[in-house]
A and B are shown apart, each in its own frame.
Chain A
């Protein structure tokens, strides 16, 4: 029981009448020879570490060692308390938790890579917002992580998930696609809808370059995580409405791979292009590397 494409994954879901998450649990169990319960328990440990990073991150107002990030989760929380945010409670909280996780990452705190550290804010941000606002339990969230991991597994093996290899589209793009699919399955959408949500999310990230100021996973990475969590909910809503991606998800991943392969080295995490070489980006680098 394994799959190398979204089409194969969906065929498995349909043949076994299982969700993407259930297929992933069964795959892990058969591959490792360990009981399903143990597989689920392993994922739960990761979920708990995500929650710890969020709790620390929301409370921590300190700056990262670089001085260019930190304290924004706290600031956003103060704003959300007024209840006047335009994006609503669910996206508001997702953004706050994404800030919290990514800021902890910049402080060299302990986080869970989903699929990378640079994109670690998006998935926990989305899932813990569902937990806070719609009373989904940790058990639901664990299954959502399996949905996300199945999507990430296909993307990682067909294309790439790191900024150095394929630009930010590969990193924040993959994470956003994973989160969108996870939200759809949590909301009882079909596997097909989940895969369409992933395709819709990833399409909107195609071409995004990896251009971190001073090479740090802070600017623009943290805010791209925050915006990614917001976009994941939009993509999930579109898919849950029954709207489909005209380009199949596997082909979107193929396009992402093609774009990443042709992306100049300056835009693949080398900090030699884009925002990294703006006057402000260059000045920050000079100050930090001094």
Chain B
């Protein structure tokens, strides 16, 4: 069961226009932000499939960047996330590809984000209705639903410390 509660059905409270292409993506970006402990200086983002076809119209680019900057789904600054990133000197690169080879779903993306000292490669899928899941962290296939509680420290210990030095290549 992916959807756990009424919050998953009546919600999230969010900036439009798409729960899967906007809100769910903010949540993935926010996970990357939290995982790295903030301070992201650059990010390369790969949109797959449905995301690569329609990301512009849905503000998916603003959504992922908003999340990477630490914004929540109902933060109206998501509308100006790209300007906000420019102001903070965050370097961004976007790429569009076809079907995602790592996860069978049309709404998938991969982010390679760097802070001053760390790099993380994280794959996320937006399942619909604002519900997202992380399926890839630093060369590990994972399954982390973002609508349920998770322990960031535990995740870091598991998927980060080990690969901390060599996590530069990624799977993209």
Quick one: closest A residue to B2, CB to CB?
A157
A118 in contact with B9 given A156-B2, A215-B57, A217-B58 (CB within 8 Å):
no
Contact of A4 with B1 in the complex, beta carbons under 8 Å: yes
Cα–Cα, bound, A118→B2 (Å): 20
Question: Using Cβ atoms and an 8 Å threshold, which residues of chain A touch B58?
Answer: 215-217
Contact of B128 with A42 in the complex, beta carbons under 8 Å: no
Cα–Cα, bound, A150→B23 (Å): 22
Binds A, one of B36-44, B71-79, B138-146, B150-158: B71-79
Contact of A118 with B18 in the complex, beta carbons under 8 Å: yes
Binds A, one of B48-56, B84-92, B112-120: B48-56
Tell me if A's interface is mostly helix, strand, loop or mixed: helix
B window 82-121: CB within 8 A of A:
105-107
Cα–Cα, bound, A171→B19 (Å): 11
Binds B, one of A84-92, A104-112, A131-139, A228-236: A104-112
Cα–Cα, bound, A250→B79 (Å): 39
Query: In the assembled complex, how far is the CB of residue A25 from the closest CB belonging to chain B, in whole angstroms?
Result: 9
Contact of B16 with A146 in the complex, beta carbons under 8 Å: no
A117 in contact with B22 given A49-B13, A105-B16, A108-B79 (CB within 8 Å):
yes
**Is A66 located at the chain interface by the 8 A CB criterion?**
yes
Contact of B10 with A145 in the complex, beta carbons under 8 Å: yes
Question: Using Cβ atoms and an 8 Å threshold, which residues of chain B touch A209?
Answer: none
Query: In the assembled complex, how far is the CB of residue B169 from the closest CB belonging to chain A, in whole angstroms?
Result: 29
Cα–Cα, bound, A43→B130 (Å): 17
Question: Using Cβ atoms and an 8 Å threshold, which residues of chain A touch B5?
Answer: 28, 31-32, 153
Contact of A108 with B20 in the complex, beta carbons under 8 Å: no
**Is B171 located at the chain interface by the 8 A CB criterion?**
no
Binds B, one of A9-17, A186-194, A197-205, A265-273: A265-273
Question: Using Cβ atoms and an 8 Å threshold, which residues of chain A touch B78?
Answer: 108
Cα–Cα, bound, A212→B57 (Å): 10
Quick one: closest A residue to B106, CB to CB?
A164
Contact of B129 with A216 in the complex, beta carbons under 8 Å: no
Cα–Cα, bound, A272→B53 (Å): 8
Cα–Cα, bound, A109→B17 (Å): 8
Contact of A114 with B17 in the complex, beta carbons under 8 Å: no
**Is A245 located at the chain interface by the 8 A CB criterion?**
no
Cα–Cα, bound, A104→B76 (Å): 13
Quick one: closest A residue to B60, CB to CB?
A215
Contact of B50 with A269 in the complex, beta carbons under 8 Å: yes
Question: Using Cβ atoms and an 8 Å threshold, which residues of chain B touch A161?
Answer: 9, 128-129
Question: Using Cβ atoms and an 8 Å threshold, which residues of chain A touch B56?
Answer: 215, 289
Contact of A217 with B16 in the complex, beta carbons under 8 Å: yes
A window 208-253: CB within 8 A of B:
212, 214-218
Query: In the assembled complex, how far is the CB of residue A109 from the closest CB belonging to chain B, in whole angstroms?
Result: 6
Query: In the assembled complex, how far is the CB of residue B62 from the closest CB belonging to chain A, in whole angstroms?
Result: 8
**Is B28 located at the chain interface by the 8 A CB criterion?**
no
**Is A94 located at the chain interface by the 8 A CB criterion?**
no
Contact of A162 with B16 in the complex, beta carbons under 8 Å: no
Interface flags, A153-194, vs B, CB<8A=1, else 0:
100110011111100001100000010000000000000000
**Is A61 located at the chain interface by the 8 A CB criterion?**
no
Extra A-B contacts (17), CB below 8 Å, given A28-B6, A115-B10, A162-B127: A49-B13, A66-B57, A104-B16, A108-B59, A117-B22, A118-B18, A149-B9, A153-B5, A161-B9, A161-B128, A164-B50, A164-B106, A164-B107, A212-B57, A216-B58, A270-B53, A270-B54
Q: Which residues does A use to contact B, with CB under 8 Å?
A: 4, 24, 28, 31-32, 39, 42-43, 45-46, 49, 66, 104-118, 120, 123, 145-146, 148-150, 152-153, 156-157, 160-165, 170-171, 178, 212, 214-218, 265, 268-272, 288-289
